[in-house]
Structure 1
Amino acid sequence: MSALIRRAFSAGGFAAIVQKGAEEAGAIFIRQRFRDGLESVYGPAPQTFARDDDGMRRFETRLAQAEASAVDAVIAREARFDSDLWVVELELDEIGDLFEVVKTAEN
């Protein structure tokens, strides 16, 4: 996560861990805030996208360019299932190659 934060800053944005989970567990969710007030949230991609050989985390879009209250609801729902989850907040209009977002049937 520290690498993600450093890369966000070097891209001219802001990043912070806003909710800390368990060091050895806990899913990571990324909340992206846009200048227009809308937000997106990314969560762990399904295991079918995991590759044993690279150790990279992959994410899927859970909600794209929505109101903050809708993003809050997604994160709250996930926290009910995993109280150890992490939330990283980014203030960037473009995520570029900061992290890999996979295409799933839902997005």
Structure 2
Amino acid sequence: MRITSELFVAQLTRRIFKDGGFAAILRKGAEAAGAIFVVARARDGAVTLYGPAPQSFASDEDGGERRFLAEPIADEAAIEARFAREARFDPDFWVIEIETERAGDYLPLVG
């Protein structure tokens, strides 16, 4: 059973803060099942955008765990353009920005 988007975001931000990082919710989406996007900033300024992995990566063994996939981005404008496209498709998405050197420690990633 998959936890709600709201609970996942709360859990993620709490874990980041506990470990000395920074997290901010930039956009709130649907509480139960909104897609979650994570903008990860390293302390050197490098930015990586993580979006929901396609359902084809899900398996019966993962118990409905949310999985993320790094999306290729060029700059801040590309991130904003990605969110604009997502808003036209489905406006109920979340955006969380985190500052950590180890985003993979907090997000279940696929290939």
Scaled by the length of structure 2, what TM-score is found?
Answer: 0.80
Q: Indicate whether 1:12 and 2:20 are aligned.
A: yes
Aligned to 1:92: 100
Matching residue of 2:36 = 28
The alpha-carbon deviation at position 15 of structure 1 amounts to 0.7
Give the partner amino acid of 1:60: L
| 3-state DSSP of counterpart to 2:105 | coil
Moved over 2 A (4+): 34-38
Aligned in 2, Cα 1:11/1:63: closer, same or farther, shift over 3 Å?
farther
**1:49 maps onto 2:54 in alignment:** no
Q: TM-score, normalised by structure 1?
A: 0.83
Conservation of the 8 A alpha-carbon contact between 1:20 and 1:86: yes
Distance 1:16 1:10, change over 3 A: same
Contact in 2 for aligned 1:32/1:89 (Cα 8 Å): yes
1:78 counterpart (86, 91, 101): 86
Which structure shows the bigger proportion of residues in helix conformation? 2
Residue of structure 2 equivalent to 1:61:
70
User: Over aligned residue pairs, what C-alpha RMSD do you find?
Assistant: 1.7
Query: 1 or 2, which has the higher strand percentage?
Result: 1
Paired residues, what number? 102
Q: Distance in 2 between matches of 1:51 and 1:11?
A: 30
Give yes or no for contact 1:39–1:71 (8 Å, CA) kept in 2.
no
- Equivalent pairs: percent with the same residue? 53
In structure 2, the gaps of 5 or more residues are: 1-8
